[in-house]
Amino acid sequence: MIIPRGKKLIPTEASPSAAEPLDEFKLRDELRQLRTGIPDAPWLNPIVSVAFGLSRRLEAGEITLADVRALAMRLMDRALLNRARGLRERVGYSESGGESDAFSALVSKTIADSGNDLEAFKKAWARARSGIVLTAHPTFGISESLAAQMVEIAASGSELASDRARLPHRPDEPIDLPYEHRRAQSAIVNLRNALEGLLNRFYSVAHEPFGDAAFSVKPKLATIASWVGYDLDGRTDITWLDSFKLRLREKLTSLSDIRQRFLLTKHRLGEQPNVERISRQLTGKLDLAIAAAQEQVQALDSIGKKDHAALAKAANIISASDSYNLTSVAPLVELIDQLIGVVEAHQMKRSLAALRGLIEATGLGTSHIHVRINAAQLDNALRALIREPWTNNTSERRAVQNLAEHIKKAVARPETVNFGTLELETATAIRQFALIAQIKKHVDRETPIRFLIAECESPATVMIAVLLARLFDVADIVDISPLFETPEGLERGARLMEDLLEEETYRDYVRGRGRMSIQTGFSDAGRFIGQVAATLEIERLHLSIAEAVKKAGLSDIETLIFSTHGESMGRGAHPGNIRKRLSYVLPQEVRRRFKKHGQPLKHETSFQGGDGFMFFSDTTLTTQTMATVIRDAFEVDDTIDPFYADENLSLDFFLRLRAYQQNLFSHSGYRAMLGAFGPNLLFKTGSRAVKRQSDVTTALDRGDPSRMRAIPNNAILQQFGYVANVVAGLGYATGYDKERFIALAKQSPRLIDILEMVARGKQLSSLNAIGANAYIFDAGFWASRASWGREQQFEAAFRQLSRALLSDMRTSEINRLVHHMRIDAIDLHAILEGIGIEGGKIPDDTRLEVDLLQAVRLTLIMHIFIIAARLPRFAPRNDMSYETVLDRAISLDIPEVVEFMRQAFPYRSEGTITGEDFEEKATYRPHGIDEYGRLERELLAPMQDTYELVREIGTGISHHFGAFG
């Protein structure tokens, strides 16, 4: 068995007491028992059966919503505990040092490999081979407080204390850009601490063979970067001023942090005159730089909206403060080098060298930054910049040739900009390059800035970026990186890079930078063609790029591959440890190919949003993670994987799998599933919109994957209980070669990695869960509840629901999808069993608890439906009819329904007029007061509260999958 599954669930203090009317363990056993009856009753759905039983008890008053909430909380708490334990295992936490000790062993190995030669050792560590990038993807699914509890459990190995306050399983509100930036910067604090700690370890190991000469080594362990506050792809709410102020504040934070770290060391350096003199120079330079940054931040904070006079004043203050501003780390590094030379104790030399390494790694900001825009914005910028006919079609070869000529002109005559330029410029791409120019001029003139181009499908788009970099004289610090994530982009990516490498102006640019950068997106690619097919497609792209670089004669240039993936299996995160995660997105064959060609390779990987930041929410977890990331880049397995030797089988497998997933993508049942509730099952987990702009009218329209972003797409698959873009299609893809495929998989580490992820996804997935969520859209279900006469008080509501759903296609379409995927799942289980991987054919306790959460939530959704069917009728108003309100409620658009009903039936709970205020007596009391109050108390407030619990249970389900979306 390759993946350990179903580890015993951690007991919690929240186990049911004797007084609890709902016992989750009995309900879990009921689910298990019901499953045994399916072979004799194929129509049986255990989740529906349990949910129906709970629904009848709830509507009859035998149990209360408080009882259901208590049951759900116990299940969610236990899921959180197991998620925390999973985080601990994924980072390789060990009381004895774990990955940190392994990092020390790596340093020792590189010393041995260099033959104890200092220069050879320096060369081994002369460049960063790996990087960590924090993004603001909307995965802030739990509050900061709950995340802190989870991290504490992961770091300490403890459990929830009985006296710890129960926290809801929901995100903070509001989640805006400042919130996301603060969370990212909190993670960066731990990353900086971890990096300095690992640098100390590095020098401790290196000092043994090299003595004090070790401190002349300036190792590049890894880079830290963030695009939070600088990513404009798909959003228009971040202005150039927002980004510049963030970068300036990051600089201020970094300078203050460096000063504080130095002061902690300074008092131990000794009192020799040279030491004190250089220390005063260093603190003085830092103090001046901090004062300049503070003055600049204050000036920018004084700018109001459209206040051009204040902008000009602030700009002039910034220009004036440049006389004592610091825009390079070189003066700081030079002074620290002098201190290392004059202090005596090697422990102090080590501390100073580690601080120097931190400064060199992060520059004058807290980290590097990535700027991101969309390819279309670059194309639009070209038309604004060069008004010639050829700019209307950049897909033609002539466009690249024309751009090359304009690049040569820009090299000879670069432009200058000021803050007025930024304010006046309307073309986003041009404005972003002008922003980089101002950052280079006033904030940091050396630290690299990545320029990411989303949805890049043409070499001309990259050339436009090179043109703008040359035009604004920032080509020396900007790494332009096309992002390949769409099916078209992945298919054309290799050819696109080959075309670029044929252009002299592009080759000159990458030679000047010393690297060529690309980004590959697993999340969106997995949405379109399935996660496994996307991974194999991206791997093929990487291998082709290695060949293209070799062909271009640029093997001395570093190739930087940035793997952008999420924290869930559906978005490219392997469920194993960090090493598995890294080797999944950049397999050994790719590393081996670059090594074979003698091409330097750097691999960066993303950690996205709140879920990704949890790896860096504690210094110990951060150090373990960073140590693993650094070590991974040094390890290349030269053994040829048989998966690549059998090219016919591997290619056929890939093509069939991609075809299956593409057919699934367009399957009406798949769209009905995604659109059944749409994102209404989910909390808002980020500041960016979850939908791409479009007019959505029906469930099928709402479920169109092309109109939905990858994170909510994956989140809905989790909520329906089946991560189809991970597990579906493997059975079909093996075709008639199953035995041959099984034999190959047993010998192929690459295939085992892939199948481990598929197996874990299948262990957690249940086609019964999809069917159960579809069942409540079945008019026959509600008609049956009305026909037996056992719930007479709700008979009218059941009949109303049945009538409303008679023409609804969700149940039938989703059931067609279930049958389609079940056939494939049969083959998948056979393949996994043949290889010896557990695929969850018989659910363990963990899966049964996921199913139980599904059943509890289904009970609550039934409750919402019943309430909705009891809402009073009204005359149509504002294009809203009673039927429209009921339809919205059935799609769980509850906030809109409640808001509309409160407007239509206003209830005054405060300030009501009383008869005592009037001398004239009246015997009639308006009945609307009582009726509207009853509507609020008995229908609207319970509907709203139930809906919030429905969404909270969704968070509990995501705990089991280890991430949101």
Dump pLDDT digits (tens) for 244-292.
999 999 999 999 999 999 999 998 998 899 999 999 999 999 999 999 9
Round to whole Å and give the CA distance between 658 and 642.
21
Round to whole Å and give the CA distance between 480 and 773.
45
Residue 518 DSSP SS3: strand
Residue 235: the pLDDT is 87
Residue 898: the pLDDT is 97
Contacts of 70 (CB under 8 A, 6+ apart): 20, 22
Residue 913: the pLDDT is 60
Q: Residue 790 carries which side chain, given as an amino acid letter?
A: R
Task: Give φ, ψ of 246 to 5 degrees.
Answer: -60, -45
E strand map for 377-466: 449-454
Residue 306: the pLDDT is 79
Round to whole Å and give the CA distance between 629 and 131.
8
Where do the structural domains in the chain lie, given as residue ranges? 1-90+145-174+649-913+923-965, 93-144+178-362
Round to whole Å and give the CA distance between 504 and 499.
11
Q: Between the CA of residue 84 and those of 156, 440, 537, 630, what are the distances in Å?
A: 10, 41, 32, 24
Round to whole Å and give the CA distance between 328 and 441.
10
Round to whole Å and give the CA distance between 759 and 762.
5
Residue 481: the pLDDT is 98
Residue numbers in the chain where pLDDT is lower than 50:
1-14, 162-163, 165, 692-696
Residue 922: the pLDDT is 74
Residue 166: the pLDDT is 74
**pTM for this predicted structure:** 0.94
Residue 7: the pLDDT is 44
Round to whole Å and give the CA distance between 635 and 763.
31
Residue 100: the pLDDT is 87
Residue 690: the pLDDT is 56
Task: Give φ, ψ of 627 to 5 degrees.
Answer: -60, -40
Q: Residue 154 carries which side chain, given as an amino acid letter?
A: A
Task: Give φ, ψ of 364 to 5 degrees.
Answer: -90, 0
Residue 486: the pLDDT is 92
Do residues 869 and 886 lie in contact, with contact meaning Cβ atoms separated by under 8 Å? yes
